[in-house]
């Protein structure tokens, strides 16, 4: 290995030049991409190639460090809950709000926020990372905090067996330096404590009477007694925050040993369990000696104040998001796997809304749609499904037929299907269950019909 001072000076100079050029380059690429309707990840892809250490260098400035959120279900909503709660408590938070959860998506989110010298005006980063890309991220950036939510049979064409997904998250557990927050109800997640060298490990969990409403992958797929016993062993771990009651837009929690109730704006019972994860890690940030030394005003935050800060958080992009179209409320509900779809269906009374299902099989959705056969659609029998759309619309219609759910119309073209669906029964609430790329397509077409919040996609 060379120790030539001239080479060292040259490398340092090159690094310095890139530090100055990178923000301008990224902003220029972003502007051009948006003019041509390009994706949110393009600036990140260009910047990563030009300046591979931009992300680590920029995030390394933050006084409270980096928090990572990962797992199969709930990443985007949990990330939003954490980020908005911390903001409501007075911290400046950088996050990746669109769900673009690859490393290049993080870089793309940084580009518009850094100044010309590459400075990021934030106290802490709260970042959602895809399970596979989380491994790449922690090689560059060691998170001070991490929240690991669950592992489910999602996109097995990408990850293979479910234990492979857990193995990816083990890298996050091993890299976390401060507080690691784990779901005790998922034995594969709870077991990652054994892989961790974090200073503190905290768990969030469920009261026993709620476990049937929030099944783990073992609960859905395993009939083995030893697996159930293994899960029960982890479920006896003490939880920092426990979800103890679920209601319509409100929830009960046990925080420490005290009982609390709070209103919430997010939709779906599944997001109430995500709120328990968010509460636990926000408590970790508040109680961190580093936070107490740099932001002493947070030291006195009460649990009531924390719950009030959480209660105002609105649904994340495409995850229970409501969009008004000429007086008709259109709700988008993202579905990715059997557990998520099952919980989504259980969260709403199908009789109170017209229903559409849009299923694509692009890479971001997962190519293997056989998981639809693991979802029970019988709750839709009374109301039927008014519209089915997307690349796999006929497969979805066939699946509904096997559960005796009537289908009004099948239209593979998303725009045409959406136009017909919105015109149906004006003023009646519309709910669309959709895979990720279908959701993006629906949002894009809705933006042609009404005002839709620009989230940078």
Using an 8 Å Cβ cutoff, are 136 and 48 in contact?
no
Buried b (16+ CB within 10 A) or exposed e, 154-168: bbbebbeebeebbbb
- pLDDT for residue 457: 43
**pLDDT tens profile 405-419:** 999 999 999 999 999
Using an 8 Å Cβ cutoff, are 283 and 306 in contact?
yes
Using an 8 Å Cβ cutoff, are 256 and 220 in contact?
no
- pLDDT for residue 347: 80
Do 52 and 174 fall into the same domain? Answer: yes
Strand partners, 328: 325
Do 110 and 84 fall into the same domain? Answer: yes
Structure tokens at 448: 């042609």
Do 301 and 343 fall into the same domain? Answer: no
- Does residue 390 come out as left (phi exceeding 0), alpha (psi in the -120 to 50 range) or beta? left
- CATH number of the domain where residue 83 is located: 3.40.1190.10
Residue 455 in any domain: the answer is no
Cβ neighbours around 256 below 10 Å, total = 12
Structure tokens at 15: 């690094």
- Please give the helix or strand (H or E) that residue 82 lies within, else none: helix 75-88
Do 130 and 216 fall into the same domain? Answer: yes
- pLDDT for residue 38: 55
- pLDDT for residue 221: 65
Alpha carbon of 286 to those of 11, 90, 108, 302, 421: distances in Å?
Answer: 40, 11, 28, 10, 46
Do 397 and 274 fall into the same domain? Answer: no
Do 304 and 327 fall into the same domain? Answer: no
Do 49 and 91 fall into the same domain? Answer: yes
Residue 3 in any domain: the answer is no
Using an 8 Å Cβ cutoff, are 125 and 66 in contact?
yes
**pLDDT tens profile 232-251:** 668 889 999 999 999 878 89
Residue 457 in any domain: the answer is no
Do 378 and 299 fall into the same domain? Answer: no
Structure tokens at 419: 């136009």
Instruction: Identify each DSSP E strand in 41-191 by its residue range.
Output: 66-70, 93-95, 124-128, 145-148, 179-183
Collect all residues with Cβ–Cβ distance below 8 Å to 387 and sequence separation of at least 6: 355, 356, 357, 408, 409, 410, 411, 417, 420, 421, 424
The upper half-sphere exposure of residue 125, i.e. CA atoms within 13 Å in the direction of its Cβ, equals 25
Which of 252, 281, 311 is the C-terminal boundary of a domain? 311
- pLDDT for residue 13: 44
Residue 265 in any domain: the answer is yes
Do 228 and 354 fall into the same domain? Answer: no
Structure tokens at 295: 């932001």
- pLDDT for residue 231: 59
Burial (CB < 10 A; 0-12, 13-18, 19+), residue 174, is: middle
> For 430, which DSSP code?
E
Q: How many residues are present in the chain?
A: 457
Alpha carbon of 165 to those of 131, 151, 171: distances in Å?
Answer: 7, 7, 11
Sheet with 145-148: list strands edge to edge.
93-95, 124-128, 66-70, 145-148, 179-183, 200-206, 241-247, 250-255, 258-263
| Domain of residue 97, residue span | 14-311
Do 181 and 288 fall into the same domain? Answer: yes
| Count of structural domains within the chain | 2
Using an 8 Å Cβ cutoff, are 73 and 154 in contact?
yes
Buried b (16+ CB within 10 A) or exposed e, 303-319: beebbebbbebebbbbb
Structure tokens at 104: 């290049």
Residue 8 in any domain: the answer is no
Which of 268, 290, 311 is the C-terminal boundary of a domain? 311
Residue 236 in any domain: the answer is yes
- Please give the helix or strand (H or E) that residue 426 lies within, else none: none
Task: Provide block-wise average pLDDT over 10 residues at a time, the chain (457 residues).
Answer: 43 57 80 65 79 90 96 89 95 81 81 88 94 90 96 60 87 96 95 94 95 79 52 82 90 94 85 94 96 92 94 76 87 86 86 95 83 92 95 96 96 96 92 92 89 60
- pLDDT for residue 50: 86
Do 148 and 275 fall into the same domain? Answer: yes
- pLDDT for residue 10: 43
Which of 262, 278, 311 is the C-terminal boundary of a domain? 311
Do 326 and 302 fall into the same domain? Answer: no
- CATH number of the domain where residue 337 is located: 3.90.190.20
Using an 8 Å Cβ cutoff, are 133 and 75 in contact?
no
**Euclidean distance between CA atoms 104 and 368, whole angstroms:** 25
**Euclidean distance between CA atoms 68 and 308, whole angstroms:** 23
Residue 103 in any domain: the answer is yes
Residue 50 in any domain: the answer is yes
Cβ neighbours around 337 below 10 Å, total = 22
Collect all residues with Cβ–Cβ distance below 8 Å to 112 and sequence separation of at least 6: 27, 30, 456
In the block, tokens 């961190």 appear at: 288
Structure tokens at 209: 């009477």
- pLDDT for residue 37: 56
């Amino acid at each position: 290995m060379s120790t030539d001072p001239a080479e060292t000076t040259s490398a340092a100079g090159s690094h310095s030049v890139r530090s100055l050029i990178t923000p301008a380059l990224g902003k220029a690429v972003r502007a051009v991409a948006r003019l041509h309707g390009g994706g949110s990840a393009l600036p990140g892809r260009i910047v990563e190639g030009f300046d591979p250490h931009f992300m680590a260098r920029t995030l390394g400035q933050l006084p409270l460090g980096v928090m990572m959120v990962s797992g199969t279900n709930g990443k985007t909503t949990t990330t939003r809950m954490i980020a908005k709660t911390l903001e409501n408590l007075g911290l400046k938070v950088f996050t990746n709000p669109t769900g673009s959860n690859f490393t290049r998506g993080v870089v793309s989110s940084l580009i518009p926020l850094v100044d010309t010298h590459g400075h990021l005006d934030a106290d802490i980063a709260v970042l959602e990372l895809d399970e596979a890309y989380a491994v790449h991220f922690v090689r560059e950036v060691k998170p001070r905090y991490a929240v690991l939510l669950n592992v489910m049979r999602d996109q097995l064409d990408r990850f293979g067996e479910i234990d492979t997904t857990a193995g990816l998250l083990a890298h996050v557990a091993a890299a976390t330096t401060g507080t690691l927050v784990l779901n005790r109800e998922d034995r594969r997640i709870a077991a990652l404590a054994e892989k961790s060298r974090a200073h503190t490990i905290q768990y969030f969990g469920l009261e026993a009477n709620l476990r049937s409403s929030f099944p783990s992958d073992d609960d859905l797929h395993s009939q083995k007694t030893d697996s159930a016993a293994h899960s029960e062993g982890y479920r006896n771990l003490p939880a920092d925050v426990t979800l103890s009651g679920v209601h319509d837009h409100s929830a009960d929690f046990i925080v420490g040993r005290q009982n609390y109730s709070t209103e919430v704006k997010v939709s779906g019972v599944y997001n109430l369990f995500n709120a328990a994860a968010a509460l636990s890690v926000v408590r970790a940030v508040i109680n961190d000696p580093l936070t107490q030394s740099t932001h002493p005003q947070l030291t006195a935050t009460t649990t009531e104040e924390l719950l009030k800060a959480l209660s105002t958080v609105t649904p994340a992009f495409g995850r229970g998001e409501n969009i008004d179209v000429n007086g008709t409320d259109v709700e988008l509900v993202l579905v990715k796997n059997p557990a998520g779809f099952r919980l989504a269906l259980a969260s709403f009374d199908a009789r109170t809304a017209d229903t559409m299902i849009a299923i694509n099989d692009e890479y971001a959705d997962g190519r293997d749609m056989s998981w639809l056969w693991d979802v029970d659609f019988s709750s839709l029998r009374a109301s039927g499904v008014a519209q089915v759309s997307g690349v796999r619309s006929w497969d979805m219609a066939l699946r509904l037929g096997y559960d005796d759910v009537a289908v009004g119309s099948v239209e593979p073209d998303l725009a045409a299907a959406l136009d017909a669906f919105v015109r149906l029964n004006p003023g009646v609430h519309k709910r669309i269950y959709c895979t990720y790329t279908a959701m993006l397509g629906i949002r894009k077409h809705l933006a042609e019909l009404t005002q839709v919040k620009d989230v940078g996609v």
